[in-house]
Amino acid sequence: MTLFASIFPIACWLAYNYGVPLVERRFPSLSVIMSLQRRRWVANATRRESPLDAILSGNIMQSVSLLASTSVLIILAIFATFSAVPQLLETLNSLGLGHDVTTSAMQLHLLVLLAIFVSSFFAFTLSLRQFNHFCIMLGAIVHDRPVSEQEIDAIAMLNSLAAKNFNNGIRAYYFAVPAVAWFVSPWIAIALTVLTTAFIIHREFFSSAHRIAASVAVIASRRDKEMQS
């Protein structure tokens, strides 16, 4: 049970990442709806010359950079914990939270935590690089002639890809919470993993933000059709 509780958060994380795209083919998630708004952003940016788009991109990149730096600090903290496993076990036992954890089980679980935050670091840094490429491509747009739909789609797709990697990094933080709860009890870790998965699914498919974003997308689509007609 201790081993299962250690691996269960990563298993649910991987299952979510591979399973949700299959669901999105029939029922759009919040991320899919926001991808449509990202395309509208790029299409509107091709028709204006203002610092607004640079400001928006800069704010996004600052958030990604902050989380990437935080992941590095957590990774260093986990490495430092490996040298203090006996003291950590002693502390947990003194608090009544040891639940018969062996040294090897503790080391394995620290490796799980390390894997989660290393994955989040790579996801955030990849997202940061892709947002940087997005800014370059957005800045390369020529405003004195119409931009092709293919170019708008490509730039918007790069923005959506960067957002996808950012969301992967955020989900790593979410699933790190039940992984930390493992130190209290494997059963609590399993329960929190299930709750975390349900929370993320609700946020992506059934939340108020999803309904609002979908409504805005419908309104914008109707307006575009009226302008074309």
What pLDDT, on the 0 to 100 scale, is given for residue 111? 92
Q: pLDDT tens for residues 38-70?
A: 888 888 888 877 777 778 888 889 999 999 999
pLDDT for the residue numbered 166: 94
For the chain, what is the radius of gyration of the CA atoms?
22
Classify 50 as helix, strand or coil.
Answer: coil
- pLDDT level of residue 223 (50, 70, 90 thresholds): confident
pLDDT digits (tens, 9 = 90+) for 189-207: 899 999 999 999 998 999 8
Q: Average model confidence (pLDDT) for the chain?
A: 86
* pLDDT at residue 97, as a whole number: 60
Residue 185 dihedral angles phi and psi, to the nearest 5°: -165, 135
165 has a pLDDT exceeding 90: yes
DSSP character at residue 27: S
pLDDT confidence of residue 126: 95
- What per-residue confidence (pLDDT) applies to 48? 79
Spatial separation of the C-alpha atoms in residues 165 and 195, rounded to whole Å: 22
Which whole-number Å values give the CA distances from 8 to 47, 98, 167, in the listed order?
Answer: 48, 19, 20
> How far is it, in rounded angstroms, from Cα 23 to Cα 85?
42
Assign 224 a pLDDT band (cuts: 50, 70, 90). low
Question: Could you tell me what percent of the chain has a pLDDT over 70?
Answer: 95
| Contact (CB, 8 A) for 209 and 25 | no
Coil/strand/helix, residue 140: coil
Residues 228 and 60: their CA atoms lie apart, in Å, by: 32
